[in-house]
Amino acid sequence: MTRWILSRPETLTEIEQLRLKTILANCPELDALTGHVRSFAHMLTERQGQRLPQWFDAVRQDDLPSLHTLAAGIDRDRDAVIAGLTLPWNSGVVAGHVNRIKILKRQMFGRAGFALLRKRVLLAP
């Protein structure tokens, strides 16, 4: 069922769509949660970060404590989240280099000191 909520409605089979409609009709909280999740996903995929304040307002109007916790966490870094949802740039390249360095460090754990790790990081392709 979680897959149904997280999927785009048009990707579900007719039977899955009917079952999901039935479940959502019988559970208003789940219906509200589904709407908020889909709205956030739409903001994310369509790069519409300017809609985030309205999304916060909509989330706060419903009695969904877990979603309130998520929204509060996002709201603490509002400017960065709006930029991430709006701008075309990302930190993927930096994250890749950090991951590569961590792998090198794990491979050498307990075997060599910082000097060799530094050389491997600087000379590795």
73-121 per-position pLDDT tens digit: 999 999 999 998 999 888 888 999 999 999 988 988 888 888 888 888 8
pTM score, two decimals? 0.68
CB-based burial of residue 12 (10 Å sphere; 0-12 exposed, 13-18 middle, 19+ buried)? Answer: middle
Tokens of 4: 């149904």
Taking the CA atoms of 60, 48, 37 and 92 in sequence, report the sign of the dihedral they define.
negative
Between residues 49 and 124, the one the model is more confident about: 49
**Percentage with pLDDT > 90 across the chain:** 48
pLDDT at residue 1, as a whole number: 63
